[in-house]
Structure 1
């Protein structure tokens, strides 16, 4: 075979292989899973994370830090620990979302049907922002797993709501070391809202965790955001990617612990 013909044949084979790869279905990354251990003794919500119960929980090494969960019939307890040496906070007005500043965000879909989920944000200063997301139809998605713009414009309804009754939170920031710790208590009346706020029992929720880390305040020239997500979502699109949330299992052993 002439040398030129050999190269032509090889080139055609490479092109064909590339086309086959391009046409092959893309397998989405599996959503992550985590567990919340049962606790009979509720931890103090003071931002210190020094209760014994926290040391006995499984750690989620995300987002850009460590997250832990506990639960009992009264609600879900959340702890986050990370480093924030250049905090960007305090510029959002009352009632505004904190996503334009440094924040830890938790998304929670009680039934896992993608039709309603809460978003809870907290910043290093301890300010809290809560939003309720409601989908009025089965979600229509892009290839990346986010809601299509057309669906979002017609079927996604979002409402800012006050922190629910019984909600507790605390945030501590060490200005010298940058250590940032957060604790939150989400009452059953909030977490189990679609089931009438009934006491919690072992089950599985869909959740997502996000860490927003800005290098400069809003308006700063050339400022950049590092947005780190626990679940496989398109960066900066966690709030419109309900089907990509991970799983949180509320576990309770036979001895009640």
Structure 2
């Protein structure tokens, strides 16, 4: 997510779509009641302050093993997956699931209320990613390429091919397949500019909804997705301003044994259908941009109204130990194997 600030806007949901919705896309360049006084009792103990996490200043060491990123051995696919969003073909059967996602700040935080996990494969043509996002009410509103997709619930991947924690790619998608893709020369905290004009050329996306889209009258199970990202897409625009001297990498498949930094993020909003319990401080987080704001009083995605004042939850594969996805030091390590 790549704007300098988040502004929550009212959005009208699309009409309900039928059960088993399958979507396949290819990216384009283009106090009211009276209250009764409670009985006299001893005062409640003060609420303990929310702990803060200070990430280490460098890579994991023997003194900070808890900060070690998660790892995944990405196998070469004997046959390319069938991109239909269902994840039930033979290609995916041999690929292990990642660990379940957890809060962006790590396991000391409240566990995600919905399960998320992913799989990866590769071949000479593509990097394949699959994900399962459990949730009882699947909704999405944004339909135009490069809209700010995280204003809906979404799934995101961050990819640093040469693992130098500098230049990297970001791709986001919502439950109706709308893509937001960009390239970053540096982290936002390093004043790195975001290239919104970069597109993952040839990206293919497939989504399956186990339930009904935009219909709060029933209970859904999940939405699942597949991506096929061509290796040729990993060709960055070259920025010529002083301090940015990276050259476009050879947009080719990785070598066996090569390791990339990769992380996944799920942005999930709490709606009034889930109740109004706030599990995190009502502060503006830093997820995919340097500064953000919680929803405004007028932020409504009818009939899924976001809980006023509650920022989105950020659930990730490899914890970041801070509310900031843009710190590749803590992204997972994906090794490409036979």
- Scaled to the shorter chain, the TM-score interval is 0.7 to 0.9
What are the within-5 Å matches in structure 2 for residues 97-246 of structure 1? 97-135=148-186, 148=189, 151-152=190-191, 156-161=192-197, 163-174=199-210, 175=212, 176-191=219-234, 194-202=248-256, 203-216=258-271, 219=299, 220=306, 221-238=308-325, 240-246=326-332
Shift in Å at residue 41 of structure 1? 1.1
Whole-angstrom distance in 1 between the partners of 2:193 and 2:235: 20
Structure 1 pair 93–72 and aligned structure 2 pair: CA distance change class (3 A): closer
Whole-angstrom distance in 2 between the partners of 1:94 and 1:69: 24
Unaligned runs of 5+ in 1: 1-24, 140-146, 253-257
Given candidates 54, 77, 84, the residue that maps to 1:39 is 77
TM-score under structure 2 length normalisation: 0.58
Shift in Å at residue 213 of structure 1? 0.9
Structure 1 pair 91–168 and aligned structure 2 pair: CA distance change class (3 A): closer
Which residue of 2 is the match for residue 250 of structure 1? 336
Whole-angstrom distance in 2 between the partners of 1:171 and 1:60: 19
Deviations 1:193-240 (A, max 9, x none): 6432123332111001111111239614234422112222145410x2
What are the within-5 Å matches in structure 2 for residues 24-63 of structure 1? 27=64, 29-63=67-101
118-127 or 157-166: which moved more? 157-166
Which residue of 1 is the match for residue 25 of structure 2? none
- In the comparison of the two structures, how many residue pairs are matched? 214
> CA-atom RMSD, angstroms?
2.6
Whole-angstrom distance in 2 between the partners of 1:200 and 1:249: 9
Query: What is the DSSP-based 3-state SS (H/G/I as helix, E as strand, rest coil) of the residue aligned with 1:114?
Result: coil
Larger fraction in helix? 1
Shift in Å at residue 96 of structure 1? 2.1
Larger fraction in strand? 1
Unaligned runs of 5+ in 2: 1-56, 58-62, 102-114, 213-218, 237-247, 273-294, 300-305
Which residue of 2 is the match for residue 86 of structure 1? 137
TM-score under structure 1 length normalisation: 0.74
